[in-house]
Structure 1
Amino acid sequence: MERIYRTLMRAGTPALRLLLATRVKRGKEDPARLNERMGVAGHARPDGPLVWFHAASVGEAQSTLILITALLDAHPDLNILVTTGTVTSAELMKNRLPPRAIHQFYPLDHPIWVERFVDHWQPDLVLWMESELWPNMLGTIRARNIPAVLVNARLSPRSMRRWKRMRSVITPMLSTFTTILTQTDEHAANYRALGATHVITTDNLKFASLPLPYNATDLHALKDAIGARPVWLYASTHDGEEGLACTLHRKLFIDFPELLTIIVPRHPERRAVIATTVQAEHLRVCMRGPNKALPSMDDDIYVADTLGELGLFYRLAPISCIGRSFSRDGGGGHNPVEAAQLGSAVLYGPMVQNQQALYDEMRDYGAAIALADPDMFAETLRDLMRNQGRLIEQQNRGQNFAREKNAVLDRVMAAITPLVPTPKKSDAA
């Protein structure tokens, strides 16, 4: 199967180039760095040992940052390479990577492009985040005997069913990894059932995430603009959730006439659609935009159509509902720990199946409130806004949960430390 796949990818070179060109037109690729997607390096390889992290998108990229920091604290001579596959994640890395780390776009899985990439970077250790697996790249890593660890691995029942039908492809790919570190025992059992041998449950690395950054000047400006108005946040919203936020605002406005509802869309490029949705509800809307416009006292809805500012709004809002839990696309959920860590009471809707175990654990701990439907959503917001004591208790439970779960970083570091390369005498000299 691997030979057939390699042959097909070689034959598909024109189609892959066309795909990249199409993605550039749609704003999904950086035209100035398109060669990186074909394995052409944008930087020289630094001297000394190099650890390569691959994180497909923003969620995985967030999880790498604290692990990179911990690795460099313990091994300051290491060089770090981080690859991601999206423009958004590249922007995140540009702003938050430490000085000894380099970001590159991940090459498409063409055998020549993959070989070109590995020939240039010659990683001493590969840390592959979560579960996006590419046969040609993993085959190259395996053929060159480069130590590799699958970190924060997950394998949902749906993926497990699909992977079972592809066992002849999946099992060799999994054999690339010296160790597989999973988020839950259930995921670990799924990997073992597919033939993986050295599997360890370490918990979800998102629990150990560094607090999201923020601009203190912007926070003060927002607090001054909002004053004593009651505020709640709908974070990382998807299609359908902005309309729900408007409906909830209308229901709550009766009891809280100065209410401000803040929406942070997962994809800011949807700003025009969101603005139209709010205006159709005859509500006043302020779009933050690149100029960081501030809401007036007459505005009902404040849309933060910017990137990288969730840390700002979690610090501002005492209550946050995590998006893609009531969305029209079938939901799935986003990371709730970031909000809890920053002292915002966490709410979530019924569709969080992509992170069900995490949400269930937070609910059972009392660190998050599950909402069965929009009516319960409105009643819970109303209750928390009226009952300061309950709100503070909910915020404290969330922060305590985040602190207790932070031990995952120690477990991951213990598993990868024996594989971390050390400088050779020639490098040290």
Structure 2
Amino acid sequence: MTRILYNLIWLLVLLLAGLRLLWRGTAEKGYREAMKERLGLFTNVPQQPTIWIHAVSVGETRAAQPLIAALQKAVPGTRILLTQTTATGRATARNLYGDEVTLAWLPWDLPWAQRAFLARWQPAFGILLETELWPNLLAACRQTGVPVALLNARMSERSARGYARIAWLTRPMLESLQVIAAQTAADAARLRDLGAPRVAVCGNLKFDVAIPHAQRELGASWRAALGGRRVVLLASTREGEEEVLLSALDSTLPAEVLIALVPRHPQRFDEVAAQVLQRGLSMVRRSQQGVPGPNARVWLGDSMGEMFAWYAMADVAVIGGSWLPLGGQNLIEACAMACPVIVGPHTFNFTQATEDAIAAGAAVRAADAGAMAVCVARLIDDDAGRGAMSAAALAFAAQHGGATGRCMTLLRPLLVRVTGTQTAPLSAP
């Protein structure tokens, strides 16, 4: 009865979901690609052993990189099917993996669409990344005998409270999972409280992401072209943050300090560019011109797939999503590039990683944009202080690696479904 109610709600919003998809497709053409897959309508595909991974958007797609590499090594020749929900995630997957993986949209959570998806692709097993739980998807997997693992799982206090309010949906989903690999002990405890019976703590896959050599070289070339000019990077900023952050930095920093600004969502690039110009700041767009000259105040990062290069160039990185109650964005990439980090007060999506980075001396927290600007100004003039934070960031990133190996150990019983080879039984997580 509970899923009947859920399905009725889906039927009521189905038309709105379709209209929203068309609307988003006007700004991001990727949303109009293979739209029928959202309803479970897939073209004929050749049958072969398949492992299915769902990575909803950009962050999860990047986090999947070391896992996909490990799976390809463990079961060569097996098709990796990577499903996503967002156009930016799909574009990131194409950039990262090329033809090494097969891409498809995960259908909307309609019972017939999910059954059709599983029937078409016939995965040996599925992997959901972070906390992408859908009732009909997991019910269809259970009914068709497709085991599912939840890896790199995180569960903030806020999300746990929300899931607890719909326990009639949450508990059956968590109970159906073959295994859960949580990022931290706190995430694991919250998942167990919600009814998950099989939870292990494996760490965060994002610490294992390989840094492309080309990205290092690109960032180094930018830095050389700037001729020693100091750079503060506003990384993965969200709506409502750019104006307040730019205002604080522009009024605090000397004119010779370059502000690099990389919005989180590409559909906002033009909007953010207009905000910068409205403030009267001289600006260069990455997509249109080369490295900024000495008179440019802002360099707008309106290109895709270059985040590591921006961190390689910057003297200090200010992490977006943390200056409004949005939960913060990932600081692990910045630390892996030895870039000192400043975060705001709202980091509940990355609580443990943020607190650990601060404790390690790799990051500092500022109470608001004004305090952030003061902190940036101090670090820009403190070579020794930045050097110490850079070394701490590298050590922090190296110390927390290894999640991929631990997740692969948990997946061993599922890999038997692909290889047909028996493995030693694993102890209960």
TM-score, with length taken from structure 1: 0.90
> What displacement does 1:337 show?
0.6
When residues 57 and 182 of structure 1 are mapped into structure 2, their CA distance, relative to the original with a 3 A threshold, is: same
Give the secondary structure class of the aligned counterpart of 2:149.
Answer: strand
Letter aligned with residue 357 of structure 1: Q
When residues 293 and 246 of structure 1 are mapped into structure 2, their CA distance, relative to the original with a 3 A threshold, is: farther
From 330, 336, 339, give the equivalent of 1:341: 336
CA distance in 2 between counterparts of 1:132 and 1:318 reads 35
Q: State the match for 2:425 in structure 1.
A: none
Q: Is 1:118 matched up with 2:118?
A: yes
Q: State the match for 1:293 in structure 2.
A: 290
Describe how 1:205-216 pairs up with structure 2 within 5 A: 205-211=205-211, 214-215=214-215
> What displacement does 1:175 show?
1.9
Describe how 1:276-315 pairs up with structure 2 within 5 A: 276-289=274-287, 291-315=288-312
Describe how 1:14-413 pairs up with structure 2 within 5 A: 14=15, 16-27=17-28, 30-42=31-43, 44-47=45-48, 49-97=49-97, 99-211=99-211, 214-215=214-215, 218-219=218-219, 222-243=222-243, 244-253=245-254, 257-289=255-287, 291-327=288-324, 330-413=325-408
When residues 287 and 17 of structure 1 are mapped into structure 2, their CA distance, relative to the original with a 3 A threshold, is: closer
Give the secondary structure class of the aligned counterpart of 2:330.
Answer: coil
When residues 12 and 272 of structure 1 are mapped into structure 2, their CA distance, relative to the original with a 3 A threshold, is: closer
> What displacement does 1:214 show?
4.4
When residues 98 and 171 of structure 1 are mapped into structure 2, their CA distance, relative to the original with a 3 A threshold, is: same
CA offsets 1:371-404 (integer angstroms, 9 cap, x no match): 1233432232222222212111100100111011
CA distance in 1 between counterparts of 2:353 and 2:397 reads 11
The answer (yes or no) to whether the contact 1:232–1:320 under 8 Å persists in 2 is yes
Q: State the match for 2:3 in structure 1.
A: 2
> What displacement does 1:343 show?
1.5
CA distance in 2 between counterparts of 1:33 and 1:207 reads 33
Give the secondary structure class of the aligned counterpart of 1:422.
Answer: helix
The answer (yes or no) to whether the contact 2:55–2:61 under 8 Å persists in 1 is yes
Give the secondary structure class of the aligned counterpart of 2:80.
Answer: strand
CA distance in 1 between counterparts of 2:194 and 2:265 reads 35
CA distance in 2 between counterparts of 1:26 and 1:77 reads 37
When residues 82 and 3 of structure 1 are mapped into structure 2, their CA distance, relative to the original with a 3 A threshold, is: same
CA distance in 1 between counterparts of 2:22 and 2:236 reads 29
The answer (yes or no) to whether the contact 2:131–2:154 under 8 Å persists in 1 is yes
CA offsets 1:71-114 (integer angstroms, 9 cap, x no match): 11222132210100000000011111264410111111122211
Q: Is 1:422 matched up with 2:418?
A: yes
> What displacement does 1:287 show?
1.6
The answer (yes or no) to whether the contact 2:219–2:308 under 8 Å persists in 1 is no
TM-score, with length taken from structure 2: 0.90
CA distance in 2 between counterparts of 1:369 and 1:248 reads 17
The answer (yes or no) to whether the contact 1:214–1:309 under 8 Å persists in 2 is no
Count of residue pairs brought into register by the alignment: 418
Letter aligned with residue 22 of structure 2: A
When residues 18 and 246 of structure 1 are mapped into structure 2, their CA distance, relative to the original with a 3 A threshold, is: closer
When residues 219 and 84 of structure 1 are mapped into structure 2, their CA distance, relative to the original with a 3 A threshold, is: same
Give the secondary structure class of the aligned counterpart of 2:418.
Answer: coil
When residues 423 and 201 of structure 1 are mapped into structure 2, their CA distance, relative to the original with a 3 A threshold, is: closer
> What displacement does 1:205 show?
1.9
Give the secondary structure class of the aligned counterpart of 2:89.
Answer: helix
Letter aligned with residue 400 of structure 1: A
The answer (yes or no) to whether the contact 2:124–2:418 under 8 Å persists in 1 is no
CA offsets 1:326-347 (integer angstroms, 9 cap, x no match): 24xx231101010110121111
CA distance in 2 between counterparts of 1:145 and 1:128 reads 16
When residues 7 and 272 of structure 1 are mapped into structure 2, their CA distance, relative to the original with a 3 A threshold, is: closer
Letter aligned with residue 387 of structure 2: I
When residues 177 and 365 of structure 1 are mapped into structure 2, their CA distance, relative to the original with a 3 A threshold, is: same
CA distance in 2 between counterparts of 1:345 and 1:319 reads 5
CA distance in 2 between counterparts of 1:26 and 1:261 reads 26
CA distance in 2 between counterparts of 1:221 and 1:372 reads 34
CA distance in 2 between counterparts of 1:268 and 1:157 reads 29
Letter aligned with residue 97 of structure 1: Y
When residues 149 and 228 of structure 1 are mapped into structure 2, their CA distance, relative to the original with a 3 A threshold, is: same
CA distance in 1 between counterparts of 2:219 and 2:132 reads 36
CA distance in 2 between counterparts of 1:302 and 1:8 reads 45
Q: Out of 342-351 and 119-128, give the one that drifted further.
A: 342-351
